[in-house]
Amino acid sequence: MASIRPVEKKAIAAAVIGTTLEWYDLFAYLYFSVTISKLFFPHSDPLVSLLATVGTFGGSYLVKPLGALVLSSYADRVSAKAALTLTVTLMGLGTAMIALTPTYSSIGGAATAVMVIARLVQGFSSGGEYGSGITFIVQRAPAADRGFYSSFQIAAQGLTSVFAGLTGVVISASLTSEQILHWGWRIPFFIGLAIIPVAVYMRRNVPEVNDKTIAPRHATPVREAIREHPALCVLSIGTFVLVSVSSYALAYYLPTYAVRTLGLPQTSAFAATILTGVVQAAFSPVFGRLSDRFGRLRVMRTGAILIALIVIPAFEFVVSHPGIASLLISQFVLGLLMTSYQAPMPALLCDLFPPSIRTVGVSIAHDFTAATFGGFTPFLITYLIASTGSKIAPGFYVCGAAVISLICITRVTKHARAAAARCA
């Protein structure tokens, strides 16, 4: 394994900082979703209020495909660097709106409207973040190390959950419930807002790759991807289903699930999320390297099979033995399996799509899946638990996602072979 050169380290850092901010904002919104529901979506029934809050979270994902098509097309036509600078600027705008908007009690329905618009802006900007960031890294990575290099995008998500979880623990432990309700919930968003100028500076000052030496520009990369590679686009979306569902069900929605459904204290839920983040950050490069050595599909297939077999018993274990110990054990196991599937994914998608439409292809897989499966996972889990009365409903949801992705992995094998022949 070749060492990472300083210029490559700068490129990786510039790419992952936007991903870090994107997921940090999502964590902050979900961590304090119960508080936000009271302040911006008031209702006599707390469940309805919470559903409105997580529904807004999911609704923001409906615009992710639009952001993916617009911003990833811009990246393929102009440059990934330009697209990344634009996405992080838009992300900062949405974060500022959330951090500064008065509550419903102060300005009425306008507060709800601004919160919805802020999430839509963030959803649109995040639509161009993943694909552009992955392409930005892969363009600078040695061919034999793509899995390792691109896995740092996944590791960044883990570090984000650690940072956001620690922020939540400190706020919950340091402030009273009344202080959190009045102003404490805004602190995470101000922290995220403070990082935006650093991210913009880093991305503007990373040397650009001369993409003309990598692949010719295509005037309409979105049209080319859909018209020339329709089956690959669909299979890529299906392969990504488990990534989106496992992320949102096992990591991002956990604090709300643990507090509301299992009755655990907020600090215990944050601790479990921090553990998941540590596992994801530590093992993503490991599984990325394994995918370089043994093949992406082999590593991912093993992870998906194990998730399908273990996730329901893991939820049954937590529900039948509610407590911080059982929660941490389940989160460690599921977090490790989740990472084994997620870490090779960026490199796999970049391998599958031709360089001229790489950003568009990766973005279609990521953002269309996030819009249809990932973003609405908190809403669906809350609804399923309420309607069925089953506390292990999230396990069945994740298991179903694993089955879908396994089927698509099997079908995508021939495309992977064609991509390998193309790169040979």
pLDDT in tens, 91-105: 889 899 999 989 888
Question: Which helix (H) or strand (E) element contains residue 238?
Answer: helix 230-247
Tokens, residue 139: 């363009």
219 or 109, which is more confident? 109
pLDDT tens for each residue of 23-58: 788 778 777 877 887 888 776 666 666 667 666 666
pLDDT score at 218: 56
pLDDT tens for each residue of 229-286: 888 888 999 999 999 898 878 776 766 677 777 888 877 777 887 888 899 999 999 9
Residues 6+ apart with CB under 8 A from 247: 157, 338, 342, 374
Contact (Cβ atoms closer than 8 angstroms) between residue 326 and residue 317: yes
Specify the amino acid at residue 245: V
Specify the amino acid at residue 25: D
Counting beta carbons within 10 angstroms of the beta carbon of residue 60, is it exposed (0 to 12), middle (13 to 18) or buried (19 or more)? buried
Q: What's the number of CA atoms in the CB half-sphere (13 Å) around residue 193?
A: 13
State how far Cα 65 lies from the chain centre.
Answer: 14
Number of H helices, E strands in the chain: 21, 0
**In 3D, which of 173, 174, 172 has the Cα closest to residue 32?**
172
Residues 6+ apart with CB under 8 A from 5: none
pLDDT score at 151: 92
Residue 220, SS3 per DSSP: coil
State how far Cα 338 lies from the chain centre.
Answer: 12
Contact (Cβ atoms closer than 8 angstroms) between residue 410 and residue 300: no
Distance between CA atoms of residues 159 and 401, nearest Å = 25
pLDDT score at 424: 44
Residues 6+ apart with CB under 8 A from 285: 148, 151, 152, 155, 343
Cα-based distances in Å from 365 to 65, 90, 122: 9, 22, 19
Band of residue 4 on the pLDDT scale cut at 50, 70, 90: low
Band of residue 213 on the pLDDT scale cut at 50, 70, 90: very low
pLDDT-above-90 percentage for the chain: 22
- Measured in degrees and rounded to the nearest 5, phi and psi for residue 423 equal -85, -15
Distance between CA atoms of residues 371 and 384, nearest Å = 19
Indicate the average pLDDT of the chain. 82
Q: Provide the greatest CA pair distance for the chain.
A: 63
Residue 45, SS3 per DSSP: coil
| Domain residue ranges of the chain, discontinuous segments joined by + | 6-205+221-423
Q: Which parts of 60-210 fold into alpha helices (H)?
A: 64-77, 80-100, 104-107, 109-126, 129-138, 146-174, 177-182, 187-204
Band of residue 342 on the pLDDT scale cut at 50, 70, 90: very high
Q: Which one of 2.40.100.10, 1.10.1040.10, 3.40.50.2000, 1.20.1250.20 gives the CATH number of domain 6-205+221-423?
A: 1.20.1250.20
Contact (Cβ atoms closer than 8 angstroms) between residue 357 and residue 218: yes
Residue 343, SS3 per DSSP: coil
Specify the amino acid at residue 210: N
Tokens, residue 338: 């989740």
Distance between CA atoms of residues 380 and 372, nearest Å = 11
* Confidence check: pLDDT of 6 > 80: no
State how far Cα 199 lies from the chain centre.
Answer: 18
